[in-house]
Amino acid sequence: MTDTKQKTALYKRMLLIRRFEEKAAQMYGLRKIGGFCHLYIGQEAVATGAIGALDLKRDYIVAAYRDHGHALASGMDPKAVMAELYGKVTGCSKGKGGSMHMFDIEKHMFGGNGIVGSQIPVATGVGLKIRYREEDGVVLCFFGDGAIHQGAFHESLNLAKIYGLPVVYICENNQYGMGTDFRRVSAVDDFSVMAASYGIEGRQIDGMDVITVHENVKEIVEKARTEHLPSLLEIKTYRYKGHSMSDPAKYRTREELEDYKERDPILILKKGLLEDGVQASDLEAWDKEAKKLSEEAASFAEESPEPEIEALYSDILA
């Protein structure tokens, strides 16, 4: 069971992601940040709960383009993440990756991938390395409901099963792929059943409750660690904002959105913490802290230098 101390850590992480992205959205509005910017607001419980179950000394993360949450959940420095959004040389990818390509080799955060589904085979390969070196690490591979129909997904599950790779495939079903309701383009509406095609375990999990996510992923990671088998989780969640900053999200109803906001992952955990006897003033202070970190990240990014023009030709080859 998750104790109060762990809950607190999860709570702070989720808050940081939320406040960080609110700041990023604001800075996007001021044109400090450009390009695509896919916010994770609403989905914080998924990355936080799942990545919180890892030991990043031996485990790995591979994510899609909606990756700010995964970057922060992995413990990456908010300053480096924000500076990357700004395209500054101090960014985690020296300003060469931007929003969709948050990388941190030390934190075992292997991206950030802009092509839908493209990261799934890559994560499978990280799993191959773990098995090859007979390590006990696990890979969490995140992708959206839009990616689950790609051949790369099906190829990867099959590969992971036949080679016994410890990869936990996590479909973050936020219900929309851009403007497409997943029910319009999916043969089944419970993705966890797809696991059966590959003879692996599948689970459907409530992604608005960080504790549920955390406990399920912890269990499944432990299994992957000891049994060296892949699994598929469908974590049901919701994004509050549009697909990217340019999307007004007219394809869904206000009621639907409001409905999910009532089940906001941060709110739910807040209630839980209060029930556990945590002081409201502490909750306040943590929120302030998250805001401060986000502010500092933005100032840091703001003040950081642009990459030198010579950087254009660096980091192409090793």
Partner 1 sequence: MAKIAFREAIRQAIEEEMRRDDSVLLMGEEVAQYNGAYKVTQGLLETFGSKRVIDTPITEEGFTGMGIGAAMAGLRPIVEWMTFNFSLMAIDQVISNAAKTRYMSGGQFKIPMVIRGPNGPAEFLASQHSQALQSFYAHIPGLKVVAPSTPYDAKGLLKSAIRDDNPVIFLEAELMYSWEGEVPAEEYLIDLDKADVKRAGKDVTLIAHSKPVRMMLQAAEKLAEEGIEAEVIDLRSLRPIDTETIYKSVRKTNRCVVVDEAWPVASVGSHIGFLVGRDCFDYLDAPVQLVSGEDVPMPYNHRLELAAQPSVEKVVRAAKSVLYVD
Ligand X SMILES: Cc1ncc(C[n+]2csc(CCOP(=O)(O)OP(=O)(O)O)c2C)c(N)n1
* Residues forming the site for ligand X (CB under 6 A): 66, 114-116, 144-147, 174, 176-178, 243
Q: Sign of dihedral through CA atoms 260, 262, 264, 268?
A: negative
Residue number with CB closer to ligand X (176 or 300): 176
Q: Sign of dihedral through CA atoms 116, 253, 38, 128?
A: negative
Q: Are 4 and 270 in contact (CB under 8 A)?
A: no
112 binds, among partner 1, ligand X, none (CB under 5 to 8 A by kind): partner 1
The 3-state DSSP class for residue 52 equals coil
Least Å distance, CB 249 to ligand X, is: 11
Least Å distance, CB 127 to partner 1, is: 8
234 binds, among ligand X, partner 1, none (CB under 5 to 8 A by kind): none
Least Å distance, CB 110 to partner 1, is: 6
The residues that touch partner 1, with contacts defined as CB under 8 A, are 60, 62, 91-97, 101, 103-105, 110-115, 118-130, 132, 151-152, 155-156, 158-159, 162-163, 314-318
Q: With CA atoms as reference, report the closest residue to 65 among 33, 21, 89, 97.
A: 97
Q: With CA atoms as reference, report the closest residue to 218 among 123, 133, 210.
A: 210
Residue number with CB closer to ligand X (11 or 176): 176
Least Å distance, CB 54 to ligand X, is: 20
Residue number with CB closer to ligand X (21 or 145): 145
Residue number with CB closer to partner 1 (3 or 313): 313
Strands, E assignment, the chain:
60-62, 103-104, 109-110, 139-144, 167-173, 176-177, 180-181, 201-206, 231-236
**Phi, psi for residue 113 in degrees, rounded to 5:** -135, 125
